[in-house]
Amino acid sequence: MSIFEKILEHLNPAPNPDIERAFEHQTTSVPTLWLLGKTGAGKSSLIQTVTGNDDVVVGNGFQPCTQTAASYLFPEEKPLLRFLDTRGLAEADYDPTEDIDTCIASSHALIVVMKAQEVEQSHVLKALEQIARTGKIKELLLVQTGVDQLSEPDRQSCVLHQRDQVKQIWPSEFVTVEVDFELKNGEQFGIDELIGELANLMPVVAHIADRSDHKTKEEENFSLLRNEVLFYAGTAATSDVIPGVGLVSVPVIQGKMLHSLGNQYGIEWNRTSFTEFVGALGAGFGVQYVSRLGIRQLIKLIPAYGQTIGAASAAAMSFASTYAIGRAACMYLYHKSREEEINPEQLRQLYKEALKRGKEVAHRD
């Protein structure tokens, strides 16, 4: 059975325990943004800005994960990102050890949120000092909120004072962003810079927070399904870390993704439509797909190298190829659902662009 026949087989999949474990692992190992800050500092507004979900509030919708921390998965069903919030900052005996252990299990960054006009930050600084001493968390972003509510020179004085306090504690360079989530005219300040810095720490944020104008109706439709495609891409990458497993799991996961996307567009895949889709991607697509998948598995079998660099490279490529296939499939299904002609050249170009963007996200996450 060829690789593409295996994908086709799983366009209408039956439950597979091995693949289900890959989905479970993806859900439990999503990148984590650890938010550290006082109540009212703007943590909820930050989460709403990233996710576009105005209903989420720290404490509401968060699930306890330690005695002093709670987490929020976004999206809830097929998560791409986890937010972790500590709840014990005001307690004199607060110990972040358990929280650090929870965060360290996945890719993460520490986001310290301080309201610029609040000079008293002793609890936050004390916790930050304990975290710094562990040496386990390397990335720090200081987000200073409510800056537009202060007039000069008070604004500059407050901002610099908070930065100096953090500098005295944190052992390495860190990035700062000034924002205001609630301006009087209904606008916000510093949001683009905030998203940019968060994306530097965790590139998937750029995809999640992308709410730019869409040139076409097809692009608008894809924006509604992008998180789902990213979830399947992350699951394929997770499963491809284990030697020999990706050769089986990656095509299966991609098949399940295509099946799910077909349901969204009201299109049931069959051999004819799948062959048309693969054919539209070009004669060389199938050969490149099969050879790259096989080579990635062989590389992972190399002692030492295969379990580190080789595995990471395989995971990155599986992420990128799954994302690109999903993006191209959405365009194909969109035109198919409208009974419009498929433009092979446009589809191939879109696939190449999505593959490039997928590689950038995979190598940096």
Are 35 and 46 a contacting pair, CB within 8 Å?
yes
Are 195 and 100 a contacting pair, CB within 8 Å?
no
What is the structure's pLDDT at 300? 37
- Which stretch of 106-115, 162-171, 238-247 has the lowest confidence by average pLDDT? 238-247
CB-count burial class (<10 Å; 0-12, 13-18, 19+) for 212: exposed
Q: For residue 358, give Cα distances in angstroms to 36, 92, 207.
A: 30, 45, 10
What is the structure's pLDDT at 305? 30
Task: For domain 32-201, give the CATH number.
Answer: 3.40.50.300
pTM of the model: 0.77
Which residue in 146, 139, 142 sits closest to 41, CA to CA? 146
What is the structure's pLDDT at 312? 45
What is the structure's pLDDT at 299? 35
Q: Would you place residue 14 in the very low, low, confident or very high pLDDT band (cuts 50, 70, 90)? A: low
pLDDT digits (tens, 9 = 90+) for 153-199: 889 999 999 999 999 999 999 999 999 998 777 788 999 999 999 98
Bridge partners for 164 per DSSP: none
The answer, yes or no, to whether residue 318 has pLDDT greater than 60, is yes
Q: Could you tell me the residue ranges of all domains in the chain?
A: 3-25+214-364, 32-201
Instruction: Tell which wins on pLDDT, 60 or 296.
Output: 60
Give the phi and the psi of residue 33 in degrees, each rounded to 5: -100, 115
pLDDT digits (tens, 9 = 90+) for 271-301: 888 888 888 888 656 545 544 543 344 333 3
Q: In angstroms, rounded to a whole number, what is the distance separating the alpha carbons of residues 120 and 51?
A: 29
Kindly report whether the peptide bond that precedes residue 344 is cis, defined as omega within 30 degrees of 0. no
Is the CA virtual torsion 250, 256, 259, 260 positive or negative?
Answer: negative
Instruction: Tell which wins on pLDDT, 64 or 48.
Output: 48
Percent of the chain at pLDDT exceeding 70: 77
What is the structure's pLDDT at 67? 77
Q: In angstroms, rounded to a whole number, what is the distance separating the alpha carbons of residues 341 and 71?
A: 45
The separation between the first and the last C-alpha atoms of the chain, rounded to the nearest angstrom, is 34
Which residue in 24, 340, 30 sits closest to 204, CA to CA? 30
Q: Highest-confidence range of 140-154, 166-180, 214-228, by mean pLDDT?
A: 166-180
What is the structure's pLDDT at 245? 45
